[in-house]
Chains A and B, each alone.
Chain A
């Protein structure tokens, strides 16, 4: 592992003659210390932040792909209601059973609910957060702050295995009696309290209960991980790396980790409550006089409140939206600064903005709940805070856009994705503003307009940011670049088709098409008729989007062995993670790290090269 350390690239400006000595010495030390490690210790039960980061990132990518495939089946159903899914219909029938698929291989109504709930859950809690926060965070943050590892390596491993357990539970829930959870990723009671009850086997072995158990594990893993990030950033910064010299990605992860530490626990509490509602028959979320409950043979004393769940759920789930977007903004900031070859415009303003954003995100949650009979005073409060939070968001986006101005931009694959992120996130953000006003929200609530808004933020927004990150840091981890040619096919194909999926949603949503119609609105022909033809267009776009992911998957796996070899700093970048051997050995750095300058000293007038690494002495 450490032997590659000596292959320093020519572009490594900060390198000194001592490097070689350190490398050789380090290699020897490393081998002596770790020769006992076998495959399992090194790649499975590892405490090394890079390995854990790769495990997280790989699981995250796999879950993203799974969630995407579920969406494909759903989109087929929306465009061709009741018609068997082509090619894989029979396979799906065999895999998921009669609750989800008909004998002919078409999606059933409750199958649509299963896939809908699991698509949301998997994408948010098992795809993006593990990839963006835990994956990139684990790999990049310790390197960018000049630390030998995360602050608590064992806790880090525990965090991954909590997440892994929750993933196994969540996937396993497809195969319990009655199939997986059907109550949406928001799991609103009382529906989620009675779903799948009574059960043939036990109160424990059914979709919604397993969903809750999986969430408890997932939340625990997230908490352990985010405590670790905060401690690493506070305690393990290299000498000289003052707060305002931190790369923006580290700031983004810092705020994200705080959101997770403080917002996730109320949902963990709420998950415990819903679990006891289902398993021990308590009534936290079960209102008085719930007749359907009596009819099902399960009785609740009542006295609970479904609205309570919504408060506790959205207290997490609104900050969660920022958890999804902030790491992507951090990645985009790194890629933009590197490829425009100039410092970020308004770095300090961005730092303050991201803190303001983090703070405000805790007091906007009830804008998801305008329809719950909330009075005018409270609605007005949340409306005002929601409008306020657009200010720091716009500061971030504007700073990034202005960073492009006057740069000699290198349009490589990471930069293409980062550039596309900006307008896509812009569309997602701006379409959210009408939703902040409760008068408008009463009309748009639960329509495809909301789905379009949210997906513009997280799909061509966050996921494009994450692709930028994958293309950008892949060489650091594997020692080889991803193919530029395949990257371009992936980028242009994805950009066009993804807009083909999500833009028509605004049109359908404003026409009143509801997000939960499992037949795509055919039953509501009178209302939805004029916009139903878009369903076919969106489904074709989704299929094409799937095709355009194939070059990426091929690229991702083959480049491990056949990609272009790179040295320490292939992108001529300033930040510390590029000042390590490629790939970084156990303990990361081959020389003491000391930082002398800010994160983005590109194109400094009078300098020898167009970038000055943070570790270069003045």
Chain B
């Protein structure tokens, strides 16, 4: 992994704090716009300890352990210890998850296939790059230090990195190679 990059797994379960610096829950997932160049985080899924409202709607009773998708405009800062939100709990803006691509749910650990449907490998890690308060998708890592990818996969990743002008020997498939995300598999343009 190159300097300035982080793994999605290191962000997940990170503390989420509101405008009054109160811990309100933890980070559950991130929604990304894959069409953007580079793909950028559009929403943050927060596992709230409790809430009594969803957006402007007051609920008849308080609910616990609820996951809400908040637009990225709610994110004030990304800190190594916590994610800070712009508003006070529970007065957050909320977003619909309809049609959204969630990295943990839809990408991490997912089966990758080539355009012909041949199985390649699973996504072992999702590599992100924070820039200020924004978060960009760098690519999909195959293999870990303790679990190297197969030679066939190394060759494919090397070819893709050359094609998209990525330096270094990292086993990260550049985001440009992601053709689409289907229900069962992530299609890679090999």
Chain B associates with chain A: no
